[in-house]
Every structure is written in C-alpha cells, then in structure tokens.
C-alpha cells in the first residue's frame, strides 16, 4: 500500500517509518511511504504556502494552488489512492475505518497547518475528511501518522502470528484481557493462579471472562452496540448474582448491628 503525505514538515516522517513494525512493513514492501513538501509546489523565490484569510481575522490559511498541484502530482505517483484531509471536522477514525482503509491501494494525506486549507481545495481535490478525535492539534501530521500506524498493522502479513490483529481489542468488540509476565509476585500481587496452570481451556475461559468484565468496568459503552454471546451473558449474570449477594450481606450486617433490637442499641 502506498502512503503519500503532503506536508510543510516532511522531516517529521522518516523517524516514524524507520522504527518497529512500520519499518518492517517498509522493508517487506507491504507499504511504500513518502512525505512530500508542499513548498516544492509553491512558486516564487520564497515558496509561500500560506496567506491571510479573506474577511480578516487572525491566523493564516493554506493557499489553494500549491496544495492542488501537490495533490495532482501525488495522484499521478499513486494512481488508485484515495485523498484524505486531516481535520477536526472529519469523520472520526476508528478500528472499523482502519479495516476499510487497509484494503485500499493507497492513501494520500493532506496535512494542514494554521487555521486550515482553502475551502475550494477541500471541495475539488479531497475524497474524505478524517479526524483522529475531538481535540485540536497544531497540524495534520501526527493525525496522518496515527492512521498510517493503525492501517499498516492490519495489512495481511505485516504482523506475525504472535501479535496478529485478530486478537486485538475491538476486533471482537471487547477490550483485551489483562496480561502478566514474570515474576509471579510483584508489589505483593500474584499472577492469577489459572494462568500458571497450563490448562489451555481454563486459561482461554479466564481470558474471555476477564476481557468481558474489563470492558464492562472500563468502557461500558462498547457493550451497548454489541450483541452478547450466550456464554458472555451467563458470565455477566453470574457477576450480577455475586454482586447482589455482597450488597445483601452488607445491608443485612448493617441491620443486625444497627437495626431495631440490635446489641449495639443503635449507637
């Protein structure tokens, strides 16, 4: 998959593609990344890429001509690629979108700085506007890296069997189960006994239950959209019974200590 990033700060990118799994994907030719300086497409001695906004006000806007020229060149270099503008106004990126993007031939990222890009470029030359979340960055570069990172690891053959994408958070709609490594005791906390048992069936059952309960406790909104399997519903019902039993025991204790006729006499 071809990634072309259009930016006025192309030097930000080599450190990103020269490390870890992204680097491996480049070496295996699973991805072909490049960062192109929009300034190369800005005419004149100063290669100016920004200008003051019509209507006045503070901040600058990226000029349309250099951006449009850079996009046309990128399209020629990566035919079949989709052109996306990184922007807080875009559709919010998630794992479902990452899976869709991983099937494309290529992506061209337009990274704006300042207040944004001239609206007419968005209208003519952009296939989609994408946001990585509801917060404001100083430029689209980090957002493009986030998307390249999440998409690359989903390209077949990029992850080895060990850390394959099927086991990920979100691939089954749940957070991942807890992980433990040596030593068996750390800060007084022991590794759950079942994980030391070597019993693969029980370990798998523990992990499924742990993933479900963690999702319920940390990100309950993820369960709203997702149908529960029969065994998952059974796990949640068992937790509900256990919690209700604890609450009942506690309130019964409080009554017997403090209720009418108790030994403490309500003191």
Interface residues with ligand 4GX (CB under 6 A)? 85-88, 112, 116-117, 131-133, 135-137, 139-140, 143
Asked if residue 180 lies in contact with residue 210, where contact means CB atoms within 8 angstroms, the answer is: no
Q: State which residue, 71 or 117, has the beta carbon closest to ligand 4GX.
A: 117
**Shortest Cβ distance from residue 157 to ligand 4GX (Å)?**
28
Q: What share of the chain is helix, strand, coil (3-state, %, to 5)?
A: 45, 15, 40
C-beta neighbour count of 162 within 10 angstroms: 6
120 is catalytic: no
Tokens 């192309």, located at residue:
10
Structure tokens at 255: 């009554």
238 is catalytic: no
Structure tokens at 190: 């022991």
Asked if residue 93 lies in contact with residue 132, where contact means CB atoms within 8 angstroms, the answer is: yes
**Shortest Cβ distance from residue 58 to ligand 4GX (Å)?**
14
**Shortest Cβ distance from residue 124 to ligand 4GX (Å)?**
15
Of 18, 105, 115, 163, which residue is the catalytic one? 115
Ramachandran assignment for 176, one of left (phi > 0), alpha (psi -120 to 50 degrees), beta (any other): beta
Q: State which residue, 138 or 267, has the beta carbon closest to ligand 4GX.
A: 138
Q: Would you call 95 helix, strand, or coil by DSSP?
A: helix
Q: State which residue, 90 or 173, has the beta carbon closest to ligand 4GX.
A: 90
125 is catalytic: no
**Shortest Cβ distance from residue 130 to ligand 4GX (Å)?**
6
For residue 245, the surrounding DSSP H or E stretch is helix 230-258
**Shortest Cβ distance from residue 137 to ligand 4GX (Å)?**
4
Closest CA to 177 of 210, 199, 201: 210
Of 50, 153, 209, 232, which residue is the catalytic one? 153
Spatial separation of the C-alpha atoms in residues 39 and 41, rounded to whole Å? 5
Q: State which residue, 1 or 145, has the beta carbon closest to ligand 4GX.
A: 145
DSSP count for the chain of H helices, then E strands: 9, 9
Of 40, 88, 207, 208, which residue is the catalytic one? 88
Asked if residue 165 lies in contact with residue 154, where contact means CB atoms within 8 angstroms, the answer is: yes
Q: State which residue, 142 or 223, has the beta carbon closest to ligand 4GX.
A: 142
Q: Would you call 190 helix, strand, or coil by DSSP?
A: strand
Of 168, 176, 207, 208, which residue is the catalytic one? 168
C-beta neighbour count of 168 within 10 angstroms: 16
115 is catalytic: yes
Q: State which residue, 49 or 87, has the beta carbon closest to ligand 4GX.
A: 87
**Shortest Cβ distance from residue 122 to ligand 4GX (Å)?**
7
Residues labelled as active-site residues? 88, 115, 153, 168
């Amino acid at each position: 998959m071809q990634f072309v990033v259009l930016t006025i700060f192309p030097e930000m990118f080599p450190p990103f593609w020269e490390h870890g799994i992204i680097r491996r994907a480049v070496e295996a030719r699973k991805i072909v990344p490049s960062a192109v300086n929009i300034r190369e497409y800005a005419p004149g001695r100063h290669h100016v890429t920004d200008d003051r906004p019509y209507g006045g006000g503070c901040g600058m806007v990226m000029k349309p001509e250099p951006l449009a020229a850079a996009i046309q060149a990128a399209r020629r270099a990566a035919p079949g690629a989709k052109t996306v503008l990184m922007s807080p106004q875009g559709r919010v990126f998630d794992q479902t979108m990452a899976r869709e993007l991983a099937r494309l031939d290529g992506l061209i990222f337009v990274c704006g700085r300042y207040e944004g890009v001239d609206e007419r470029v968005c209208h003519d030359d952009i296939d989609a506007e994408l946001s990585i979340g509801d917060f404001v960055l100083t430029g689209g570069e980090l957002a493009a890296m986030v998307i390249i990172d999440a998409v690359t690891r989903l390209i077949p053959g990029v992850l080895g069997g060990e850390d394959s994408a099927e086991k990920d958070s979100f691939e089954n709609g749940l957070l991942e189960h807890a992980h433990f490594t040596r030593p068996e005791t750390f800060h007084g906390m022991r590794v759950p006994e079942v994980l030391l048992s070597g019993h693969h069936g029980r370990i798998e059952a523990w992990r499924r239950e742990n993933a479900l309960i963690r999702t319920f406790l940390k990100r309950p909104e993820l369960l709203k959209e997702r149908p529960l399997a029969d065994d998952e519903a059974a796990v949640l019902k068992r937790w509900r019974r256990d919690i209700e039993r604890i609450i009942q025991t506690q309130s019964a204790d409080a009554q017997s200590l403090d209720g009418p006729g108790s030994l403490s006499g309500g003191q």
